[in-house]
Amino acid sequence: MTDYIVIGAGSAGAIIAARLSEDANANVVLIEAGGRDSSFLYHMPAGYLGLVKAGMGNWCYETVPQPGLNGRTMYFPRGKVLGGSSSINALVFVRGNAGDFDGWAESGAQGWSYRECLPYFKKLESFEKGEDPYRGGNGPIGVSAGPPIEDMSDLGQAVIRAGIEAGYRINPDYNGATQEGFGSANSNIANGRRQSTASTYLAQAAGRPNFRIISSAHVTRILFEKGRAVGVEYISKKKLHRLDTGGEIILSGGAVHSPQLLQLSGVGPAALLRAAGVDVVVDLPGVGENLQDHLTVNLQQEITKPWSELGKMKPLNTIKALAQYALFTSGPTTSNGQEILAFLKSDNALAEPDIQFHFPKIMVQDHGRIIIKREGITAVANFSRPRSRGTVRISSADPRQAPVIDPKYFSDPEDIRITREAIRMGRDIFAQPAFDDLRGPEFAPGEQVQSDEDLDQYIRDTIYSGYHACGTCKMGVDELAVVDPTTLKVRGIDGLRVADASIMPAIVSGNTNAASMMIGEKAADLIKGISPAMS
C-alpha cells in the first residue's frame, strides 16, 4: 500500500517526495503530468532561451483578457516536466525579503517567520562561497554567487558604477543579512549545469526501492471517502488509472494546478463547483482566490559599444558555444546571462525595498522570443509587492479543459503607480556619468514618453508576467485560508495537504522559485513531524 502520493514533481513536490522517501519504511509515489527532463536544454543554463522559444516542458497557458492591460491576454507559463518550473525558469536565485516571511507570520501563518524559514533555505542550498549564518553549504541545490564586480563585463561594471553614482549601495549578498542594494546575481547553477529539483533531489532519490515516479500522467481527481482523501485518478497513455493510499496525499501542483485539482475534486467555492457540474465535498471559498504575480516592465537603452550579448547570438558563435558545452561543459552557455540584481526603494521612507531590477545585456520582446538586433541593455523592473489579486477557476468538470486564469493585473492602481516610478528610477541610473561614453538613444519606451499618462499607456501595452504566480491555496486563519499553516492540511479534509507556491499568503519580494523550494523542505519536515533544530 502506498503511504504517500505526491502530485506534481515541481519546485516543491520533487523535494517533498525525495525527502519522504528517505524513510525506507515509507512507500512514496510521485505523479507528474510532464515528461522526463531528458533534453540538454533542461540542463544547460542558457538552454532556457530555447525552452522559451519552443514551449518545451510548459503548459503554455494564457490568461483571460486583462482590462488593466488594455484588453491583452498574458502568456502564463507553468512547468510541465520533472522539476516543474525549476527546470524551465531563468535560474535566478532570490529568497525574498526577511520582512516577507515575517509578514506571513503576522497575517496568521504561524511558524513561517523568517527566523523559522531560514533553516530550510540553508538546508536546500550549497552556496558557492560556503556556509555562513545566512547561507547553506551542503544542500542539494548548488547556488552560484555570481561574478565579483572586478570580474564583471565592461557593461556590468558600468551598471554598478551608475548605481553608486545614483546614490545606491553595493550589497555583497542580497540573500544574506539584508536585501537592499546592487549586487551580483545568484543563480541555481553549479558545475555548468542547471540545479533543478529534478537534477538534484530526484536524481539523488533515484533507485530507492520505496520510491516510484509516474511521469506523463495527468491527475484528474482526488478521491474522498467519509471526509478523507484516499486516492487519485490519473490518465496515462490514454487510459484512466486509480492509485489508492492508506496514508496521505500531498498536492504540489503549483499556483494554477493545485486550486484547479481541488476544485475538480469537489473542494472549493460551492457555487463555483455547482456551476461547473462538480459535486461539493467541502465548501472552501478561498480555493483559487488570492492569485498574485509580479509584472515586469522593460526600460531598453541602446549603447554605442559592442558590449551586449548580441554577438554571442550570431549563428557561428552559437554553434561554437554549443560544441564547447557538449564537449567540456564550459563556455558562455554555462551562464544564464545575469550578472546584476538590484533591490531598491521607490520611497526612502519604506522599511524595505519594493522594486527589483535585473540588467540583462540584451534587448528582447515577446517574453524573450524576439531578439532586438541592436546593441543595448535592459533595466527589467517589477513592483515586488503588488496589491492586485486575481483568481484561478474551473469552468467545467472536464480536467482536460484549461482553468480560467484571471490575475486582474493593475486592478489596484497603486501597482501601476509604482511601476511607473520604477521606469523613472531606471532612467536615472542610465543617466549617470558611468554611461556618458556609451549611452545611445532610449529604445523603449523612448525619450518622448514622459508624462504619467504616456508611461501608463506604455506599461499597459508592453508589461509582461514575471512568471511568479502564487497564493491560490493560501495558508492562514481567515475565511479565505485553504490550509492550516502548522500542518499544511486542507481545512475540512483528512489525509490531504497542499505544499507549493499556492500556499503563500503574499508574494515574496523576488523570484519565487527559491521560496517554493523552501516550502518543499519545510513541508517534508512538517509531514514527518521533525522540527528545524532536528533537521
Residues annotated catalytic, as ranges: 468
Could you give the CA distance from residue 121 to residue 114 in angstroms, rounded to a whole number?
A: 10
Could you give the CA distance from residue 419 to residue 338 in angstroms, rounded to a whole number?
A: 21
User: How far apart, in Å, do the first and last CA atoms of the chain sit?
Assistant: 27
Sequence-distant (6+) residues with CB within 8 A of 303 are 155, 375, 376, 377, 435, 438, 439, 440
What DSSP line would sit under 29-92, residue for residue?
EEE-SSB---SGGGTSGGGHHHHHHHTTTB--EEPPPBGGGTTB--EE--B-BTTGGGGTS--B
Q: Rg of the chain's alpha carbons, rounded to an integer? A: 22
Question: 252 near 473, Cβ under 8 Å?
Answer: no
Could you give the CA distance from residue 87 to residue 34 in angstroms, rounded to a whole number?
A: 11
What are 72's three cell numbers?
A: 491583452
Sequence-distant (6+) residues with CB within 8 A of 477 are 108, 485
Question: 449 near 298, Cβ under 8 Å?
Answer: no
Per-residue CA distances from 383 to 49, 415, 509 (Å): 24, 7, 8
Question: 232 near 7, Cβ under 8 Å?
Answer: yes
Segments in 195-265 forming alpha helices (H): 203-205, 254-264
Could you give the CA distance from residue 74 to residue 62 in angstroms, rounded to a whole number?
A: 5
Sequence-distant (6+) residues with CB within 8 A of 408 are 66, 68, 291, 388, 389, 390, 391
What are 135's three cell numbers?
A: 547561507
Q: What is the DSSP letter of 382?
A: E
Sequence-distant (6+) residues with CB within 8 A of 400 are 218
Among residues 388, 391, 386, which one has the least CA distance to residue 286? 391
Question: 18 near 204, Cβ under 8 Å?
Answer: yes
Rounded to the nearest 5 percent, the helix, strand and coil shares of the chain are: 30, 25, 45
How many of the other CB atoms lie within 10 Å of CB of 25? 6
